Amino acid sequence: MSQEAGRSTGERPLQQSLLRGALLKCPACGVGSLFTRYLKVADNCAHCGEALHHHRADDAPAYFTIVIVGHVIVSLVLAVEMAYHPPLWVHAAIWLPMTILVALAALAPIKGLLVSLQWALLMHGFDPNHEEEIGDRLAPPTA
C-alpha cells in the first residue's frame, strides 16, 4: 500500500482545493463536510476519510476576516457618510450589526480556505512524509 491510512498522496490541485474549502467541503473529495461544527474542523472527512486534523489555523482565519471585513465595512461607512451625512446613531445602528454578521459569515469560509490551502500545499501533517509530532515538538524516537 503506497499511502498511509487517511493521508492522500494523489493530486492536490490548488484552485479546486481552495474552492472546496471556501464552500466548507473536504478539499480532497468536495463532498464531505470540512467542519463538524461552526469552526470545528473534522478530524477526518466523513465521505472519503481524508485526514483533516493536521491543519494549523491558529489566528489566521480571524486575522484575514478582520482585514477583509474591515476594508469592506469601512469603505461602505465612508461612502454612506460622504453621500448622505447621516447622524452617528444611524451609523451605529447600521454598521455595528452588519460588521458582526459579515464577520461571522466570512469566518468559516476563510478558515476552510486556509485549511484547504495547507492541505493542497502539503503543509504541516498533510505531507505524507511528515514526521509525527507531539504538540510542537518532534516525537522522541521509539526504540
Q: Cα-flanking dihedrals φ and ψ of residue 55, to 5°?
A: -65, 150
Q: For Zn ion, which is the closer residue by CB, 41 or 94?
A: 41
Could you give the count of Cα atoms lying within 13 Å of 51 in the half-sphere of its Cβ? 17
Q: For Zn ion, which is the closer residue by CB, 29 or 39?
A: 29
Q: For Zn ion, which is the closer residue by CB, 18 or 69?
A: 18
**Least CB distance from residue 32 to Zn ion, whole Å?**
4
**Least CB distance from residue 63 to Zn ion, whole Å?**
27
**Least CB distance from residue 18 to Zn ion, whole Å?**
15
Contacts with Zn ion by CB under 5 A lie at 26, 28-29, 32, 45, 47-48, 50
> What are the b/e assignments for 102-129, b being 16+ CB within 10 Å?
bbeebbbbbbbbbbbbbbbebbebbeee
